[in-house]
Amino acid sequence: MGYPEMRPRRLRTTPAMRRLVAETDVPPRSLVLPVFVLEGAAEPVPIPSMPGVVQHTLDSLRKAAVEAAEAGVGGLMLFAVPQAKDAVGSGATDPDGILNVAIREVVAEVGDASVVMADLCLDEFTDHGHCGVLTPDGRVDNDATLVRYADMAVAQAEAGVQVVGPSGMMDGQIGAIRAALDRAGYTDVSALAYSAKYASAFFGPFRDAVQSSLEGDRSTYQQDPANATESMREVALDVAEGADMVLVKPALGYLDVIRRVRDAVDVPVAAYNVSGEYSMVEAAAAQGWIDRERAILEVLTSIRRAGADIVLTYWAVEAARRLR
């Protein structure tokens, strides 16, 4: 017999053969599009550090939501930038606050065609830019923040949200939100817990997108990038507190965490392909340094291969159209 005896290349000979044996795919239904809406905007405002992404008006947001649903995108994650910010993030719990208004309008527009989710966090609404309320000496007050999150969850549920996305990394946030939703009668509203969220430099462009006024960082509540085992603890706590789905964020530097979480829990696992990951690819592609379309598909495929059932990505609509 000739050498080599084994020839793995046989299964790579034609596009049809490669398609037949592919282990991973990226179905449009698994993609979630994060969207931004700016209160009072007369027209969509481009975000300079995220080429191709805008802060929507309510009008353009509704259109973008319909477009995404028509492309087969599985869900939308809503973020809002209010005109006025204060120490406790009052806009977040105001039924007429921009995020709650946006939820109401998007739900009315897309109905059941796509799942409507909203960010549940105070950083877009606070003048100091932290994800919670502060103690008199300026530290993030965990338990006082839980009270705000509980009220915010109920306000979003009243607006018609189907999934709340608590992203503030406060201890006990899932339990507090679940209890508040159930008490208010919203037993069907789900929680997508941002369980393993790292204090990451890759959120940089997002902070432009929401005009965050944060000085300093979030290291006293978001996780140290050095830790993976700690994520297992965070995820276990969230599942025990009633999380319907869990999320790892960012995605690309944390593929090992996605895999460990996928192997450890029996709820759907999401991963957030964050702003900095998006902008790196867009910037390199704009320079002609990488093939944009191939890079996007490779990024999304890798996150799925690591074990994510659901991928939040700013490329959701474009990718869904190409993958359909």
Residues noted as catalytic? 197, 249
> 245-284 mask for ligand PBG (x: CB under 6 A)?
-----------------------------xx---------
In the complex with ligand PBG, which residue's Cβ is closer, 186 or 198?
198
The CA–CA distances, whole Å, from 131 to 2, 38, 104, 109, 126 equal: 64, 19, 23, 29, 8
Tell whether residue 3 is among the known ligand binding residues: no
Question: CB 47 → ligand PBG: shortest distance, Å?
Answer: 11
The CA distance from 294 to 82, in Å, is: 36
CB atoms within 10 A of CB 49: 17
The pattern of x and - marking residues 184 through 223 that bind ligand PBG according to CB under 6 A reads -------------------x--x-----------x-----
Query: 147 Cβ partners below 8 Å, 6+ apart?
Result: 176
Q: Is 230 annotated as a binding residue?
A: no
- Residue 315 interacts with ligand PBG (CB under 6 A): yes or no: no
Q: Is 114 annotated as a binding residue?
A: no
Q: Is 234 annotated as a binding residue?
A: yes
Please give the size of the binding site for ligand PBG, defined by CB under 6 A: 9
Distance CA 222, CA 72 (A): 32
Options 167, 195, 231, 279; binder of ligand PBG; rule CB under 6 A: 167
The residue among 117 and 239 lying less far from ligand PBG, judged by its C-beta, is 117
Q: Which residues are annotated as a binding site for Mg(2+)?
A: 234
- Note the residues at the interface with ligand PBG (CB under 6 A): 119, 121, 123, 167, 203, 206, 218, 274-275
Q: Which residues are annotated as a binding site?
A: 207, 218, 234, 275, 314
